[in-house]
Amino acid sequence: MFLELPEPLVERRLRLEAPERMNVRGEILEPLNTDAVSAACARFIEEKVDTVAVCFLHAYANPDHELKAAEVVREMMPDATLSLSHEVAPELREYDRTSTTVANAYVQPLAERYMAGLEKGLLAAGVSAPLQIMLSNGGICSAETAAAFPVRLVESGPCGGALAAAYWAKQKGTEKVLAFDMGGTTAKAILSGEGVFPITTESEVARVYRFKRGSGLPLLVPVMDMIEIGAGGGSIARLNKMGLPAVGPESSGSVPGPACYGQGGVQPTVTDADLALGLLNPDYFLGGQMVLDIETARRALSDLGGSLEMDHDQMALGIYRMVNENMANAARVHAAERGIDIRGYAMVATGGAGPVHACGVAERLSIKKVIVPPVAGVGSAFGLMLAPISFDFARSYVSRLKNLDLVRLNRLFSEMEEAGVDVVAEAGVKAGDIQVERLADVRYVGQGHEIRIAVSSGALGDGATAQIKSAFEAEYTRVYGRICEGLDIEAVHWRVRV
């Protein structure tokens, strides 16, 4: 009832319509009114709009109307960037697809300028190697592809940390990993089984209500399946409306930063608590480049704890335990929702604050092995060097397995695989090194969410539906402990990762 939502990225006056209608099968019911598109462009020009998003109903099934609209936009607004929903997120669920396309358009002009400036700067510095950019799925792509689909860069930093965590864990003989990354504003955790991190397309950004699900902008982009809480080294400790201690999601940032930075910050943060507890060396912060003021940290903690009759040490310990408990609870729920028992996992800590809190979080999760690499603070950067060149594609084709049109499905897979080969080849991958993975999102008829399974490669023949059913029932049993006999099974989305 009281959930807060982020402000829309596009003002209402700039959300314009064009009459057209496509049905769920991609059949045209009403042709696109291109005059309405022209009128919208004229309005955009008047408003000095520099980026346009186009999203029509069921465009994932037939992009004809979006392509025609794009022709008009490019003719009338040649300097504007353009995002089409059938290219950005060709999946059903209209609101999520629109939200993703709008988010892509929102950052596209900035992304293009940034990529161009970065490439120019590298060339000026004598670096002629091709620029590659980390994606949220744990892969990398060319700068041109990243500039066209910048929404796919969301949460790409923690993905680098996860890849590094898997690498370090493998050196220690384990592939079951809880990658724990804690920086200045947030803490994130990603689970890996057998060295593989699961990918989800149901994510949110810009959560405004305590990092709660549903309070952000939904995005249909492939991203490592992670959980996040608003607690990092700079997160501010305070008393909530009931007078009880709380931490985050507000952060002090780097300026003024925690009180111990001596830059004018007066509110106690997680870093101040860590320093007061002796978990940080005040004379060797940032490799000795910065000296932390422990007395200022203690004063800030004492001021907060005064009304609770707690001294600075008690307040610091309370903050430390609260952050650890919040992260442990989030990780515990995240694992349970996926049918995973993480007690046998190893935790790998990265990020500036990760190693400080790793053991406390691990203890609450009954994890007995914690790995802290020597370069934990730059773990994500290290992970970038391990990332493969990769890109994900998806198409929606909803069908019960018993009615599956294999000719249509083979065509969908071929189109996605051809597009994928072009993208990774552009980034420098040789033809003989390209690998293709097929996936499907499957559910029982009537359910609102799907389970992702692997699909065999090559032309799909008579045994394909049986293979998909068997894989779905095996994964459904792993997650939920049973199957639903007698219910029809349907596939919703088909995916390719190259």
DSSP collapsed to 3 states, 310-336: CCHHHHHHHHHHHHHHHHHHHHHHHHH
pLDDT for 28 beyond 90: yes
pLDDT tens digits along 460-495: 988 899 999 999 999 999 888 899 988 999 999 999
Confidence band for 78, pLDDT divided at 50, 70 and 90:
very high
Average pLDDT, the chain: 90
Q: What is the pLDDT of residue 213?
A: 67
Q: Please check the confidence at residue 260 and state whether its pLDDT lies above 90.
A: yes
Which of 10-24, 248-262, 316-330 has the weakest average pLDDT? Answer: 248-262
Q: What is the pLDDT of residue 2?
A: 66
Record the tokens describing residue 89, joined without a space: 């997120």
Q: Taking the CB of residue 190, how many other CB atoms lie within 10 A of it?
A: 28
DSSP secondary structure letter of residue 55: -
Window from 47-51, 99-103, 302-306 with minimum mean pLDDT: 302-306
The fraction of the chain above a pLDDT of 70, given in percent, is 97
Diameter over CA atoms, the chain: 73
Domain boundaries, given as residue ranges, for the chain: 12-118, 157-389, 392-497
346: tokens are: 């190893």
Count helices and strands in the chain by DSSP H and E runs = 13, 21
Per-residue pLDDT band for 92 (boundaries 50, 70, 90) equals confident
Of 391, 407, 388, 400, which Cα lies nearest the Cα of 495? 391
Identify the CA nearest to 226 among candidates 193, 199, 253. Answer: 199
Give per-residue pLDDT as tens, 316-372.
999 999 999 989 988 888 888 888 889 989 999 999 899 999 999 999 999 999 999
pLDDT at 41 (0 to 100): 97
The three-class DSSP label of residue 88 is: helix
Q: Is 334 helix (H, G, I), strand (E, B) or coil?
A: helix
Write down the pLDDT at residue 212: 66
Q: What average pLDDT score do residues 151-173 get?
A: 90
pTM of the model as a whole: 0.84
Q: Model confidence at 214, in pLDDT bands (50, 70, 90)?
A: low
Q: Which residues lie across from 224 on neighbouring strands?
A: 199
Q: Label the pairing between strands 132-134 and 81-84.
A: unpaired
Mean pLDDT of 393-422: 93
- What is the length of the chain? 498
Q: What is the mean pLDDT of residues 273-288?
A: 90
Q: Map tokens 């949460």 to a residue.
A: 155
Name the pairing type of β-strands 392-400 and 226-229.
Answer: unpaired
**pLDDT exceeds 90 at position 104:** yes
Q: Which residues of 422-448 are buried (b: 16+ CB within 10 A; e: fewer)?
A: ebbbebebeeeeeeeebbbbbbbeeee
Q: What CATH code is assigned to 157-389?
A: 3.30.420.190
Q: For residue 230, give the nearest of 206, 214, 254 by alpha carbon.
A: 206
- Enumerate residues 6+ apart whose C-beta is below 8 A from 374: none
Q: Residue 332 to residues 185, 203, 320, 342, 461: CA-CA distances in angstroms?
A: 21, 19, 18, 8, 41
Question: Which segment of 15-24, 130-139, 161-170, 222-231 scores lowest on mean pLDDT?
Answer: 222-231
For residue 207, what pLDDT band results from cuts at 50, 70 and 90? Answer: low
Supply the Cα-derived Rg of the chain in whole angstroms: 25
Total Cβ atoms within 10 A of residue 451:
18
Higher pLDDT, 248 or 87: 87
Integer Cα distance of 385 and 131 in angstroms:
13
Which pLDDT belongs to residue 417?
94
Whether 436 shows a pLDDT value over 70: the answer reads yes
